[in-house]
Amino acid sequence: MTALTDQHQFNLARDSLLAHEPTVGLTRARRRGYQRYRQFMSNVDLALLWKRRWFIVTMIVGFALMSAPTPSGLTHDGQVVLVMTLMATMLFITEAVPLPAVALLIVVGQVLLLGIDSTTVARSLMTDAVLFIMGSLMLAVAVVKQKLDKRIALAIVRVTGTSVFWICFGITAVCGALASFIGEHTVAAMMLPVGVTLISLTSNDPKKIHNLAAVILFSISFGCSIAGVTTPSGGARNAIIISYWKDFFYDPSDPVTYRYLMDYLTWTLYALPMFLLRLPVVTLLLIFTFKPEISNLSRAVSKLRTQVKLEGPMKPSGWLTIIVFAFVIVGWSVFSTGVGLGTVAIAGAVTYLVLGLVRWEDINSGVNWGIVLLYAAAISLGVQMKETGAAEWFAASLMRGLIDAGMTSTIAFDAASSILTILVSNTMTAGAAVAVLSPIILKMAAVSGHDPLIAGFVTAISSAFGYLTPAAQPAFTIIYASGYLKAKDFFKIGSRMTALSFAVLMLVSIFYWPMLAVD
């Protein structure tokens, strides 16, 4: 009773725990008002030093290595380029500064540290690969905006029926088929609402159907991810490696080097088995790993059908989008050797804009231009690695290490390149990993007598094996945004998927690619 009577004496706000003013530390400072304090504090950020600690470390390490004695066999410019690559890698991994800032630093570094003319550096930034990345991102926005997702989903369930296994298989296959041609992130962004529709129409409580959600959403992302390497237009990494082959090995006066001008269909011939062999296994792996709570989605499917019926028949803009995209795919397959992948992609994007299927404002806000800049600078740095002889020197040094370790066979070389790429691509975006690693691996292959074409494929394909974290893959980041998945889910399925993919890659590189290379 005492407590009750005393209760009236106390005012919680006054007598109990205090709400300290955020300004309390500044009472000594003379000031006319809180606003002025806010203005002052907005200009002072001591925590920034701590936030940028890895940037500072990178700069110190970088400049120390640059001023160190140049190793024998390497030019000073080569040393600078190698150190710049190391610094870029450190910044990619630690994300100490926004990633596009790394791209800008690479540009500034090339001019100031290597003494290259700024116009030459600017010219090296814009290649067909960069145009392609830019164009396909613009196409992506146009396609996503058309909202064809539910229709695609209904088309899938018409074929697969309502069993969870077959629906997931259908989703993986269709996402894969789409992601072979469009960027994998496009398909993930487009199909995510379908996945969430199926999940939310099954149950309102995410906790009750967590495993089902994982299976459906991972079907989307793995479908996109395993197919991203199938064709050159599947992802930025493919365009980057094609661009390196041409820059490093193509010599117009030597017909033997014409094979390094990779065309759309030849790439597909090489990479398609990686998709086809993994496709049937992915769904099984997902079902066994997560064991969904229910096995039949008939309730969700019938609701989905109702929703599509209510939307009415597909609009002309939808059909037009599909037709234009079909033309773009044909253009890539037929004209890419002549006019380049980038020109076709840009032409497609322009067509969408001219036909009014997408607004420039949508493209402007939907495309992350920083990534375009990042790839441009990374490719430009890769070219400098070749020009200064840095790639060759580093590759020769690494090869000596591999020879000392007794890893001279093609299988050992492929396995080592693959594992290196997997490790790096789990720590940074796949495109950046390919841009940084490829010059070294391609040169290693050339130095040691292995086929640079196969080494390039191993690198490009292995860079898609970053399955362990939500940030490792573009498609993963997008499905993670749905909020249904936890980071540990990615590790759980990702570790198995990495092992499976590595095994399939080794099989393909041992048995299939040598047959093609002979031709």
Partner 1 sequence: MSVFDFFRRTELSDRQEAAVMKTFSTLRAHRRSRFRILACIDGSEAGDMAVRFAARFAVSNNCDIIILHVRPIDQGLHSGGLQVRLARQNMIDAGFELPGVKYLKHALDVLKEEGIDVSGWQSATAHENAWGDAAGDTKVEYQSADGRTVVLKLKTAPDVAGGILDQYELGPYNLIILGEPSRWRSEFMSFFDAGIVQTVATVAPCSVLVARNSLEKRGFFICTDGSSRSLQAVRRAAVLATVIGEHVTLFSVAPDEIAKPAAEEAVANAKALLKAMKVDVAEAKAVVGNVLEEIVERGSLYKVIVVTDEGRSRIQRLFKGSLATESVRRARTSVLDVR
Positions in the binding site for partner 1 (CB under 8 A): 2-4, 6-7, 9-13, 15-22, 24, 32-35, 98-99, 133, 137, 140-141, 144, 147, 149, 183-186, 188-190, 192-193, 196-197, 200, 206, 235-236, 365-368, 370-372, 429-431, 471-472, 474, 477-478, 481-484
Torsional class of 375: left (φ above 0), alpha (ψ -120 to 50), beta (otherwise)? alpha
Of 448 and 462, CB closest to partner 1 = 462
Within 10 A of 33 (CB to CB), how many other CB atoms are there?
A: 8
Min dist CB 134 to partner 1, Å, is 9
* CB-CB contact of 190 with 184 (8 Å): no
Separation CA 403–CA 331 (nearest Å): 44
Q: In which residue are the tokens 């990345």 written?
A: 133
Min dist CB 81 to partner 1, Å, is 24
Min dist CB 167 to partner 1, Å, is 18
Min dist CB 172 to partner 1, Å, is 19
Min dist CB 309 to partner 1, Å, is 16
Of 403 and 487, CB closest to partner 1 = 487
Separation CA 145–CA 241 (nearest Å): 29
* CB-CB contact of 421 with 455 (8 Å): no
Of 71 and 483, CB closest to partner 1 = 483
Helix (H, G, I), strand (E, B) or coil at 296: strand
Q: With CA atoms as reference, report the closest residue to 509 among 466, 464, 461.
A: 461
Of 77 and 149, CB closest to partner 1 = 149
Of 36 and 299, CB closest to partner 1 = 36
Of 136 and 448, CB closest to partner 1 = 136
Q: With CA atoms as reference, report the closest residue to 393 among 66, 69, 73, 62.
A: 73
Min dist CB 358 to partner 1, Å, is 12
Separation CA 492–CA 77 (nearest Å): 44
Of 160 and 473, CB closest to partner 1 = 473
Within 10 A of 325 (CB to CB), how many other CB atoms are there?
A: 20
Of 11 and 72, CB closest to partner 1 = 11
Separation CA 15–CA 3 (nearest Å): 15
Of 133 and 287, CB closest to partner 1 = 133
Min dist CB 31 to partner 1, Å, is 11
Helix (H, G, I), strand (E, B) or coil at 195: helix
Separation CA 53–CA 59 (nearest Å): 10
Min dist CB 193 to partner 1, Å, is 4
Min dist CB 278 to partner 1, Å, is 20
Min dist CB 475 to partner 1, Å, is 8
CB proximity list for 210: less than 8 A, separation 6 or greater: 293, 484
Min dist CB 484 to partner 1, Å, is 8
Min dist CB 266 to partner 1, Å, is 24
* CB-CB contact of 430 with 464 (8 Å): yes
Q: In which residue are the tokens 């040598």 written?
A: 514
Of 8 and 115, CB closest to partner 1 = 8
* CB-CB contact of 236 with 226 (8 Å): no
Q: In which residue are the tokens 């967590």 written?
A: 210
* CB-CB contact of 231 with 264 (8 Å): yes
Of 188 and 420, CB closest to partner 1 = 188
Of 221 and 268, CB closest to partner 1 = 221
Q: With CA atoms as reference, report the closest residue to 262 among 418, 448, 457.
A: 457
Of 482 and 498, CB closest to partner 1 = 482
Separation CA 154–CA 300 (nearest Å): 11
* CB-CB contact of 286 with 479 (8 Å): no
Min dist CB 249 to partner 1, Å, is 27
What are the DSSP calls for 434-495, one per residue? Answer: HHHHHHHHHHHHHHHT--HHHHHHHHHHHGGG--SSTTSSHHHHHHHTTS---HHHHHHHHH
Helix (H, G, I), strand (E, B) or coil at 409: coil
